[in-house]
Amino acid sequence: MAAAPLAGLLLLATLPSRADSADAVAKATSATKAWLALVDGGRYGASWDAAAALFQAAITKANWEKTIGNARSPLGAAPSRTLKSATFTHELPGAPKGDYVVIQFNTDFEKKPGSVETVTPMLEEDGTWKVSGYFIK
C-alpha cells in the first residue's frame, strides 16, 4: 500500500518545477540571443557550429550556409527584435523527447518589418542550450 504514494512522489520529483522551467527559459533565451547574433552578423557557418546536434544532423553546414543566406540576405538587418513568447516543453512534433523552449520574437527586418522569428533551443546532453530549429514568418 505504501508503494502507490511513493510512486506518486517519484513521479512528481521528475516533473520540472515552475522555478526549473523559468530557469530553463532564461538560459535558453540567452543562448538563443547569442546564436541570433551570429546569424545577424552573417556568420552562418559559426551559427551551424553553435547549433544543436539535432540541427546539425538535419542539414549540412554547406546547405545551412546557402539556405540561411538566401533567406536572410533579402531581409536586410534586424534593427528591432522583441521577445513575444517563450514556452518550455518536453515534446515537439517530429522531434525526439527532450527539453525545449519555443521562443518567438517580433522582428522588424529592414526590408520586412512585422516578421516573427521562431527559434527552438534544446537542452543538450552536456547541459547547454543550443538552437535546434529556426523559422521566419
Q: What is the value of pTM for the model shown?
A: 0.84
- pLDDT tens digit string along 11-37? 333 444 444 789 999 999 999 999 999
- pLDDT tens digit string along 96-112? 999 999 999 999 999 99
Residues 6+ apart with CB under 8 A from 26: none
Asked whether the beta carbons of 26 and 20 are under 8 A apart, the reply is no
Quick one: average pLDDT of 70-77? Answer: 95
